[in-house]
Structures are given as structure tokens and as C-alpha cells.
Structure 1
Amino acid sequence: MKLGIMGVAALLVAHVAGMLDLVALPVWVGALRDRFGFSLQQAGALPTLFLLGAVLASVLFAARVNRLSHKLVATLGFAVAAAAFLAASTQTGFGVLAVLHVVAGVAVGSGLSMVHGAIGRSQNPHRLFAMAGICLGIFAVVFLGAVPQLLIAFGGAAMFVCFGALMAVAAVTSLLFFPKTDLVEMPSQLPPLSRPVWFLIFGISLMTFNQAMVFSFVEVIGGVRGFPVESVLAVLIAMGLVNLVFPAPLAIFLEKRVSAYRVVLVGPMVQAALALVVTMVTVLPVWAPSAAVFVAVQIFTHTFAFGLLARIDRTGRAVSATPAMLMIGAALGPFIGGALSQNFGFPALGIAAVVVAAVSCFFFAQSKART
């Protein structure tokens, strides 16, 4: 499927909006704890509800991706998410915020499934997904540099206003420029996804779980360790810069030079090593660089995994389910991370990350062996 410049731009904007959690989790959890007064477990639970809603929607829509209007679903999805987040900016109670997080998650998951389905049907899914990663890095620099300052100036509601504004922009660009994707005639009963595809999905989901479990509490860990607030904010900004200049451009450069399976096997190991440093080290010069590059490992590894899925599964269902495989892990990560850190301390996050990484490597190895 050929995409025009504006069509590509619409997909990139929608990808950034849909992948908001990958950038915003530490600020999200930190604001819910510090600005709204929720416990660590409650602060982790609200993003978890958002992500669970996105998973549910992605699973439902991915199975029907070839029979739906991508443009219509994406536009409506991001518009509803914008309304839900703007409504959240007027609330402070846990119960109402929980409902609005679920609504926003369902809306984002439906729209993002259409976006990733369109990317998967492009001429070079690996390259376009990497370009989306670059745009996410640009957004991360702006978001992590500006939103913490807005929270200081205007309070917790500012975060939800920013979320709503981003979703509104994605809705408008989807309405105006989303590329035309012809509906594909598929048999009413498609064969089940192959075992290599399922193993890749499991491996990606576990990596995402690790990323969310640790990344959600980076800001909190920095504060508990006694690091200056300015240093922790600088780490978040550096994280955005690293995500911009390192993982996606490197994935484009190495697309034909490195085996994708080698990348997905090594990725969880590097992620686990960094998780140990982030959760256990108390020296800022060692902690800060590890925290700054932590998310980049996930972005780099998943770019290769996305390309593998697009090649192995020609029906498009697997890549359309990307939000589900990313967000099922991300949904559980903040909640379980909050429970572990609240009851056993932050080092428990690092130990858990090593165990999960080992299982992720096992699934990736099984996918390669069965292909």
C-alpha cells in the first residue's frame, strides 16, 4: 500500500498519541501520587485501567481490521479519548477517574489498532514503524521537558488537558489525512495465528511489562533515592533525547545488516541489566545514564519485532494487535510494580525484571526455532 506524505504524517501523529503511555508513565504515576494524593498502588492502577481498556479494544478490532474503515475508527477513537481526558481534568475522585481512564483506553486502543494495521500494510513496515519511533522521541523531548513544569505551575489537571489536546490533534489529522486503505476481502474463517507469531507476541508483551513496571516508577525512585528534583527531570528530558537520536534511526540503519531474531533475543537481556541498575543503584552518575536509555531498548527491539510480525503474518491481524501486545504488559506493569515497591521495596522490581526477561528470551527463541 502506497502512502502519500500527508497520509504518512497522519499515521505518525496517531502513533504518537496512541503510544502516549510509553513516554508519559513516570509523569502520569508521579502526578497521580503527588498532585492527586493517591497511594502508589492507586497511582499505578489508573494507568493500568487505561491500558487494559486499550488491550480489550485492540483484541476486538484487530480480528476485524480488514473489514473496517480505518479512517473512521481512528478518528472516532481519538476523538472519544480526547473527550475522556478533558473530562478527567475536572475530576479528583478515584472512582470517576477510573471510569474515564477505561473509556479513554478503549478509544485509544481501537484507533491505534487501525493505525498499526495501516503501517503493517505499507511498503516497508519496519522503516515506517521506525519513523514512528523517531516521532515518538521528538514528542518525548517536548513532553518530558514541558509537562512537569506545567504540573508545578497549574496542578495535576494540566496533565489531563495535555493528554486531551494530543488526542484531539490525532483525531483531526486522522479525519483530514488518514490514508485510504481498501477493505480486504478475507475468508469468514481465517486460520489461527501460527506458533512463531504467538511466541513473538508473548515475548513482546513480556518486554513491555518489564518496561512499564520499572519505567513507571523512575521519577518516584529518583525522589526516594534523594536525588535533586532538577536531576531527575534532567534524566527524563535526556530519556526523550536518547529515544529520538538512538533506537529508531539505528533500527533503520541496521534493518538489512543485523538479524531481527538476534535483536529480539538480546533486547530483553539488556533491558533486565538496566532494570537492576535503575532499581538498586543509589549513585546518581550511574543511575542517571541507565534510566535515560531504559526505554530506548524497548523501542529498538520492538521495531525489529514489528517487522518480523508483518513478514510472518500476511493477514495483518498480528500487527493490528500491536496495541494489545504492548499494552497488556504495560497495563499490568504499573499495578504490579506499585504493589512490589510498596510491599518489598524498589529492588524487588529489578529482581522481577530479570525473571520476566528470561521468560521473554525463551519465547523469542521458540519463535525462531519454529519459523
Structure 2
Amino acid sequence: MNTTETLRGRVALCIAHVAGMIDMVALPVWVGTLIARYQFTPQQSGGLATLFLAGVVVASLVCAPRFNRFPARLVVPAGFGLAAIAFVLATLSVRYEILALAHVLGGIATGCSLSFTHGTMGRSRNPHRMFAAAQFSLGVFSIAFLGAMPLVVERWGGQALFMVFGAVMAIAAVATALFFPRPEMVFAGETPQLQSRGRIPAGVWAGIVGVSLMATVQSMVFSFVERVGVDRGFTVEQVASVLVAVGLVTLFPAVLAAVLQHRWPARRVMMGGPVAQAVLALTIFNAGAFLPYAVATSLFPFVMIFTHTFAFGYFAHADPTGRAVAATPAMNMIGSGIGPFIGGTLVQHSGYPALSHAAALLAALAVLAFALTAWRSENGLHQAAVTQD
């Protein structure tokens, strides 16, 4: 039987994760191509990406509570297949309305597949390590994609971007149709009613809010790291070298999170992540010298990937039905969708320091959310001990 513990099953989950999270890698090239090749305004281009993200969020919010009611081995390849068709549709027209429709349909289909993928990861024997492997795969893909895609677009035009998106989705559809695993874990006393109707613990909900706030800070800050570098007077070559460093650094947080899984408590990592985000954001937008700007920018995505890997493992353990981690796309994409808008508004009206202060405020709220998660968890353990006594 092909399960989450077999090599084929794990590879299929990693491929599905990469395809489903492709926007996290492609967003700069995506928006840039729409502006440069399709002659859309920045607002129109950002709007198309937002439509895709909105589709992912809606699909995740609808699918996550229903994770155990439908067969993931059918839903996941079907969703990626529909996403591939949507992106092929995008290659056939330059009309904004057609592209908007393709982005919405592609986002909904991708979000559905990704929710069932993450839910299945959450029911593996070691969700923390499974998610770390998937995040590492995404990091490897990002280096290849960001290195090759600008040249591909330059040679074959903007439609080539959507053709590549379609190809990635098609590969994911085939891989998951052939090798998507059955969940390995079956929990004592588990019934279909418990899988579908049992409540997600309140502490997990607080943690979900914390991850969403961190995702907002991530996208809000990272959308402007290139621009603030140029505006501070750093050369284009210097800023480009920092972005290359970012791509290389993102390979390591998932691996490190897997190594430290049993050495660092997840709750402490979750509470420390937003603090690190705030310190790095304040450095990025207030540093006058290149070195602190470069170091802080290079490390900034590291914090989100590292913290989220621990959070994923914690949610999977606290809610073994898999529904909480099935909402992972919504946690990420809500932040990705609203972060750039919030950041752009702050920069336009109040400047870069205001953006750093807003990031620190949201990070503080994330710490409070994770503190509530930790308190709820400790309270639950205390009550369980009292009941046993």
C-alpha cells in the first residue's frame, strides 16, 4: 500500500506542495511579467495575482473542514488538472477579463488540492518532518524557477509564464494521480463522525491566527525589500546580490527545523518567530548601511519558514484529524493577499519607518496569539492529568 511513509507517497506530497505553493516563489516574476509583457498597470497586475490568492483562500476555507469527508486521492489530482487547464486558458488571450477568470479558477482548483495535500501531511507519522521536506523541495524549486524563468519570458514572451505554470500543475496532477498516498495514521477511537465533526481545539485556532499574522508581516515587508534598498542608495547589483542570497538561505530553515524538532519546543519557537520578524523588519527599513540591510533581508524569509514548520507539526499533533493543517493555504494566502496592499499604503502615505512599526505591531499580536496557544495547551494537559488522577 502506498502511504505517507513510503518514498513514492512522500515524493508525491512534495510535488503537490511545490505546485500548490508556486505563488510563494513566482509572485515577483508573475507581477513583473504582467506589467512588462501584457502592459497592465501595477494595480491591474497585482489584482490578477490577488484573484488567484483569493481563490486559494476561499477553496482552503471550504475544503479544510471537509478534509475527511472526501477522498484526497481523487480530489488532489483533479484540482491540479483543473488548475493546469486554467493556466493553459491564460495563454490563449491577452484580455484582462479572460486572464482574471483564469486566475480565479486556477486559484480555487489549486487551493482545493493544496488543502487536501496538507491535511494528508498532517496525518503522517511525523508531520513536522514531512512539512520540512516539502518546504525544502519548494526552496530547491525556487532557485531553479527564479534563475530560469526571467530568461524564458524574455525569449518566448509572457505566455510562457502561464505555460510553465500549467506544466507544473499537470506534472502534479499526474504524480498525485499515480502515487498520492493514503494517510498512515489512524487514531484510537477514531470514527468518521469524529474525523468530520470533532472540534478543532481553541489553542489551535489561536495559533492559526498567529501564523496568519506572521504571513501578513512576511508579505508586507518582503514586497518592499528591493525598493527600500534602491531608495536607500544601494546599487542595483548590491540589491540583486541580496535577493540571490535570499534564495540560497531559504534552503536551510526547513532542514534545520527537522534537525531541531525534538530539541526545541514548538511553542517557544512559535512565540520567538514574530519577535525575530519584528527585529529584522525594523533593521531592514531603518538601516542606513548596506551590511545590516543585507543580513536582515537575507534572514527574513528564514524566520517564517522555520517557525511555520514547527507550527505545522504542532497543529497536526493538537488536531490529529488533519483539518487544522488543511487550512494551511488559507493561513498563508490571507497574509500574502493583504500584506502588499497594507505595506504599499503605509509606504505611500507615511514612508518606510511606518511599515517597520506596523510590522512590529502585528508581530506583537502574533506573539499574543501564540501565547494563548501555549496557555491553552498547558491548561489542557493539566486538566487531562487531573482527570486521570
| TM-score, normalised relative to structure 1 | 0.91
Structure 1 regions of 5+ residues with no counterpart? none
AA paired with 1:370?
R
* Superposition pairs of residues 140-219 of structure 1, within 5 angstroms: 140-181=142-183, 185-187=191-193, 190-219=197-226
Moved more, 180-189 or 348-357: 180-189
- Counterpart-to-counterpart distance in 2, 1:273 and 1:90: 45
Kindly indicate whether residue 76 of structure 2 is the aligned counterpart of residue 74 of structure 1.
yes
Deviation at 1:89, TM superposition (A): 3.3
Deviation at 1:175, TM superposition (A): 1.1
* Superposition pairs of residues 221-300 of structure 1, within 5 angstroms: 221-225=228-232, 227-244=234-251, 246-281=252-287, 283-300=289-306
Aligned-CA RMSD value: 2.4
Q: 1:226 to 1:152 in 2, by over 3 A?
A: farther
- Counterpart-to-counterpart distance in 2, 1:2 and 1:108: 21
Which of 11, 18, 21 in structure 2 is aligned with 1:19? 21
Contact 2:8-2:179 within 8 A present in 1 as well: yes
Contact 2:122-2:320 within 8 A present in 1 as well: no
AA paired with 2:338?
L
Q: 1:300 to 1:259 in 2, by over 3 A?
A: same
- Counterpart-to-counterpart distance in 2, 1:155 and 1:219: 24
3-state DSSP class of the match of 1:187?
helix
- Counterpart-to-counterpart distance in 1, 2:287 and 2:39: 27
- Counterpart-to-counterpart distance in 2, 1:74 and 1:367: 30
1:283-307, CA deviations, whole angstroms, 9 ceiling, x for partnerless residues? Answer: 4443333222221111100000001
1:218-273, CA deviations, whole angstroms, 9 ceiling, x for partnerless residues? Answer: 444445555444444433332221111x2011101111111111111111111122
Q: 1:73 to 1:216 in 2, by over 3 A?
A: farther
| TM-score, normalised relative to structure 2 | 0.87
Match for residue 7 of structure 1? 9
Moved more, 319-328 or 95-104: 95-104
Moved more, 188-197 or 326-335: 188-197
Match for residue 386 of structure 2? none
Contact 2:120-2:182 within 8 A present in 1 as well: no
Match for residue 343 of structure 2? 337
Contact 2:123-2:322 within 8 A present in 1 as well: yes
Deviation at 1:131, TM superposition (A): 0.8
Q: 1:195 to 1:356 in 2, by over 3 A?
A: same
AA paired with 1:135?
S
Moved more, 268-277 or 111-120: 268-277
Match for residue 316 of structure 2? 310
Deviation at 1:139, TM superposition (A): 0.8
- Counterpart-to-counterpart distance in 2, 1:349 and 1:43: 22
Contact 1:50-1:331 within 8 A present in 2 as well: no
AA paired with 2:78?
L
- Counterpart-to-counterpart distance in 2, 1:171 and 1:115: 12
AA paired with 1:64?
R
Q: 1:171 to 1:303 in 2, by over 3 A?
A: same
Contact 1:49-1:102 within 8 A present in 2 as well: yes
- Counterpart-to-counterpart distance in 1, 2:124 and 2:55: 27
Identity %: 49
Contact 1:145-1:233 within 8 A present in 2 as well: no
Contact 2:123-2:321 within 8 A present in 1 as well: no
Q: 1:46 to 1:2 in 2, by over 3 A?
A: closer
Contact 1:261-1:364 within 8 A present in 2 as well: yes
Moved more, 31-40 or 285-294: 31-40
Q: 1:289 to 1:167 in 2, by over 3 A?
A: farther
Deviation at 1:133, TM superposition (A): 1.2
Match for residue 373 of structure 2? 367
Contact 2:124-2:183 within 8 A present in 1 as well: no
Q: 1:109 to 1:159 in 2, by over 3 A?
A: same
Deviation at 1:201, TM superposition (A): 0.5
- Counterpart-to-counterpart distance in 1, 2:199 and 2:92: 44
1:172-193, CA deviations, whole angstroms, 9 ceiling, x for partnerless residues? Answer: 1111111134998421872432
Q: 1:337 to 1:156 in 2, by over 3 A?
A: farther
Moved more, 303-312 or 29-38: 29-38
3-state DSSP class of the match of 2:250?
helix
Match for residue 85 of structure 1? 87
- Counterpart-to-counterpart distance in 1, 2:57 and 2:326: 11
3-state DSSP class of the match of 1:180?
coil
- Counterpart-to-counterpart distance in 1, 2:119 and 2:236: 40
Moved more, 37-46 or 69-78: 37-46
Count of residue correspondences:
370
- Counterpart-to-counterpart distance in 2, 1:216 and 1:73: 33
- Counterpart-to-counterpart distance in 1, 2:89 and 2:337: 22
1:31-69, CA deviations, whole angstroms, 9 ceiling, x for partnerless residues? Answer: 333443444433333222211111111111111111211
Contact 1:25-1:212 within 8 A present in 2 as well: no
Which of 27, 33, 36 in structure 1 is aligned with 2:35? 33
Match for residue 45 of structure 2? 43
Structure 2 regions of 5+ residues with no counterpart? 378-389
1:309-354, CA deviations, whole angstroms, 9 ceiling, x for partnerless residues? Answer: 0111122110111111121222212333333334444444322211
Contact 1:26-1:218 within 8 A present in 2 as well: no
